[in-house]
Every structure is written in C-alpha cells, then in structure tokens.
Amino acid sequence: MSAVPSDTRPATLRIVSPANGELVGEVPIDTTESVRAAVARARSAQPAWGARSVAERAEVLLAVRQKILANTDAIVQNAAAENGKPRHEGLLHEVMTQLELLSYFAAEAERILAPQPIPLRLLKHRTSYIHYQPRGVVAIIAPWNFPNHLGFGGAAMALLAGNTVVLKPSEFTPLSAVLLRRLYVEAGVPEDCLQVVNGYGDVGAALIDAGVDFVEFTGSVSTGKKVAAMCGERLIPCVLELGGKAPALVMEDADNERTLNAVLWGGYANAGQVCASVERLVVHEKVHDSFVAKFVSRVKALRVGDATKSAEVDVGPLVNQRQLEIVERLVADAVEKGATVACGGRRIEGPGYFYEPTVLLGVTPAMDIANKETFGPVVPVMKVGSEAEAILEANRSHLGLLAYVFTRNGARGRRMAQQIRCGTVMVNDVIATAAAAETPWAGLKQSGIGVAHSDEGLRHMCEARHVNHDAVPWLSRELWWFPYHEANLGLLKRLLAFLYGSGLGRLFPRS
C-alpha cells in the first residue's frame, strides 16, 4: 500500500495509459472520513442484504452476470486503455473469468453454505452442525494486474455470502472498479452494499482501520505483511494472496509443441504481470538446447504494442515506470552475474512502458531474477540434470503459489506435482486454474495465507458457527453432572474401559 503524504496529495487520481501516456480518466481520492462513512453505510445495509436467502442473492448476481456480458466491449476497451491489456486478455482475464465465477457460485452457493452436519462418535444422544452466517462488512484491496477478476471475484463471493463490500482498487486501475460497480448496482445490488473507495496506500490502511470484519488483499509480499500486521492488531481475519515465482519444469519426455505454446503464454501473458506467470523455466539438460532454441524463436515473434490501437497485439506495456525499472534492474543484475540475453533485454523507446519480451540463459540461484518476483516479460532459463534436481529448484523459492510440470507420463507428472510445495501445481498446463472458480487459489510459504475461490473460499466469507442440540430431549440429568458420588466414579471408570479398552469384558470384570 504505497502512500502519498496527505499534505502533498492531489484531490484526484489521474489515470494515464501505460501504452501511450494519454489521459484516460480521473477519480476523486477518498479521505479517512469518507472511507469511514462508506464502511458505516455498508454496515447499515448489511442486515437487510444478509436477511435475503442465498437463492435471492444468487438471482441478483446472475443479473450482474448478464450486465457484464452485455457490456463486454466497454470492459475490454477500458482494460486496454487503463491497464494496457491486449484485447484477447481483456476478454478472457476480465470478462470470462467473472462470468464463470458468477455462474459457478450462483449455482452452488446454496449447497456450499448449507448447514454441515457433524456426526458425533460419543455423544449419540446429541446432534451437532455448522451453519454459515455473513461476517458483516468485507474489505477488498485489489491489485492493478487483474482489477476485475481479482477485485470483483472476491466482491461477488462476499455478496453471495450475505456480506456487504467496500472495495479499494489500485491507484493505477480505479476506472475498472468504477465501471464494474456501476454494472453491479444497475443489476440490482443495493448501492450501499458495494462501494468503491479510491486512493493510495493510506486509503487502504484507513479501510482496514474503519472497523471492517474481513479483509481480502492481493498484492506484493512486502505490502501483504503490513496488511497482515494491521489485521493482526485488530484481530480481523484475512486472506492474503502475495504473488509467486512459478517454475515450469520441462522434463525430457515433455510434449514439445504443447510445452512450447504453454510456457510462451505462461511467461508473457499480461506482459508477465501475473502472480502465476512462468518466472523460472527449468529445462532438463537432455532437451535444453533444442527446446530453448525453439522457445527463443517464438518469443521473438511476439507482437508488442498498444492494444487501444489494434487487436493484433500479443504483449502490452508494463503498468508504470516503477515496474519497468524493476525489470531493467533484475535483467542487469543477471547479466552482470553471467546470464546471457538470448533475445530482448531492453526497454522499447517511445511513449509507454514497454519492455522487449526477453529470454535469459544460464541463470543461477545467485541471481536476483531467480529469486525475486519479476512481474515483467522476462523468462529466465535454468538447466537441470534430473527430475530430483528440478524439484529441488522448484522448492528452493520462498514463494509457493503455482508451479507447472511438463511430461508425457501422467503418473510421473502427478508424482512430481505432489512433491512441489505450492498451493497449486498444474501438469501440462499453465495459469488456467485461475479461471476455474471451483478450484482453490492459495499460496504457501510467503505467497499468502487463506484461500480464495473454491467452496472453501466462499465459506471463508462467513462465520462458521457450531450448534449442538439435544436429540433425546427427555433426559433430566447427564451422568457427569453434579452431585458427584463414589458409585458414579466406579461406573465411569468401567465405561472408559469399555469405550477405550479391549472390549465389553472390561465393563464387568471378574471378582
């Protein structure tokens, strides 16, 4: 949550296209007071929204789905202008993922949030179950790389669970939030149930401090630690998704064509600005040279450009000057320490924050680019001599969000996947599980805590409350209640021997 001092802060956020430097739009910056007012309105609106049945809330979210579908072109155009996304990615990453998530949870929310019975092993005269109730006000702090998918995916789930939402988008992509929020309200979500507050890191901090009941944050590890600390101080439950350094392990028996296509897209989609991007290409030495030669040839053919001007663009710009400088710094460090630039390796001069799609060879763990999240169109290649060495490299990172294994042998792929310490490992594919709303999205190590998406993720948006009630209502007294008698003590001992000893004979021992 990058902060701008309040005494120097402008009144509005001016959104400039990362592709051409043109002004795209402006939004007012919220104050601490306006953030608190938004949370208060959300708090007042929650009881009525939460009192609707799950089915009623699902009907509203299905209407949202149709609104999004009807406004596909506007969403795609906005993503291209504000974020620099190629139009294919705007359609898939920001529209299709939303449609799928809304469809899945609207259909399944009643089942997912139904009371869950707990079979009791001992207390057979009683019954237990878990029921799920809304937490209250959910704060969502969303990133700039997938402003709709990551911001409003959580918002949709929170609303289905009966919560109200205050969403703080990135200062680089607030227009997406303004547009999506308008569509939600037009579809029937009450205005106070979904609000957007805009600004820098201090606005995100003010939102956490405003008395919310749950926080979902997506962003960098360093900012995530600050969010976790704030939530910890206030005992606010949270879900944090903090990025990754995904390895793609290319084994000697991989399907060459599929693997080349997969890692090309996995490394350069959204200009590499994906927490699940292929950030380490780990190739078995038996196929390394031939595979890398073909890979470099395909990378050179990628078309870089401004998606607002043409649909024939594969790779767009980085989001801002800071991100461009991070990529430059990491590549320079790798080259200084012995890596070879097979293609790319330079910023593209002119308007916008473009960087050439880059492949680095001879990368070692001593280089920053092998350890730090790049978030740019750069794929570092590492050579390994065995399956075991590939798995060691995959597990070496302090991050553990996603990893990928490529092999024709299905059993081998699953065996390798189960040895990699990541929240998700895909075999012979990349990134796509992010669009599968029913699968969990969770990081291990410093990639985050908690779960987004999936049935478990929806239940995370609720308080899980346990009810235990009498199944045999006519008992006047339990065996272990007052008053205590010596005769009862002996009976209890024999009962324990029966339950946990060798069997029925222990209940009536011989004299």
What residue ranges in 308-352 does DSSP mark as E strands? 340-343
What's the rounded Cα separation, in Å, for the pair 208 and 65?
A: 29
Looking at the chain, which residues constitute the CATH 3.40.309.10 domain(s)? Answer: 246-438
Identify residue 245 by its one-letter amino acid code: K
User: What superfamily does domain 246-438 belong to in CATH?
Assistant: Aldehyde Dehydrogenase; Chain A, domain 2 (3.40.309.10)
Assigned token pair, 181: 């929020």
What's the rounded Cα separation, in Å, for the pair 252 and 383?
A: 12
pLDDT tens per residue, range 12-39: 999 999 999 999 999 999 999 999 999 9
pLDDT at 511: 45
Q: What is the mean pLDDT of residues 230-243?
A: 97
pLDDT at 8: 64
pLDDT tens per residue, range 274-289: 999 999 999 999 999 9
Looking at the chain, which residues constitute the CATH 3.40.605.10 domain(s)? Answer: 24-242+454-464
pLDDT at 509: 54
What's the rounded Cα separation, in Å, for the pair 417 and 421?
A: 8
What's the rounded Cα separation, in Å, for the pair 508 and 300?
A: 83
pLDDT at 2: 54
The answer to whether 196 and 178 are in contact (CB under 8 A) is yes
Q: What is the CATH number of domain 24-242+454-464?
A: 3.40.605.10
CB atoms inside a 10 Å sphere around CB 350: 9
CA 13 to the chain's CA centroid: 25
Query: DSSP labels for 109-151?
Result: HHHHTS-EEE--SS-TTEEEEEEEEE-SEEEEE--SSSHHHHH
Assigned token pair, 499: 């339950």
Report strand pairing: 399-400 vs 340-343. Answer: unpaired
Active site residue ranges: 241, 275
pLDDT tens per residue, range 275-325: 999 999 999 999 999 999 999 999 999 999 999 999 999 999 999 999 999
pLDDT at 498: 87
Q: What is the mean pLDDT of residues 162-169?
A: 98
pLDDT at 273: 98
What percent of the chain has pLDDT above 70? 96
What's the rounded Cα separation, in Å, for the pair 416 and 412?
A: 6
SS (H, E, C) 253-271: CCCHHHHHHHHHHHHHHHH
Assigned token pair, 176: 């997406």
**504 pLDDT higher than 80:** no
What's the rounded Cα separation, in Å, for the pair 271 and 269?
A: 5
Q: If you average pLDDT over every residue of the chain, what do you get?
A: 95
pLDDT tens per residue, range 254-275: 999 999 999 999 999 999 999 9
Q: How far is CA 178 from CA 26, 198, 249, in A?
A: 11, 10, 40
- Cβ-proximal residues to 413 (8 Å cutoff; 6+ apart), any chain: 405, 406, 407, 427, 428
Assigned token pair, 470: 């009498």
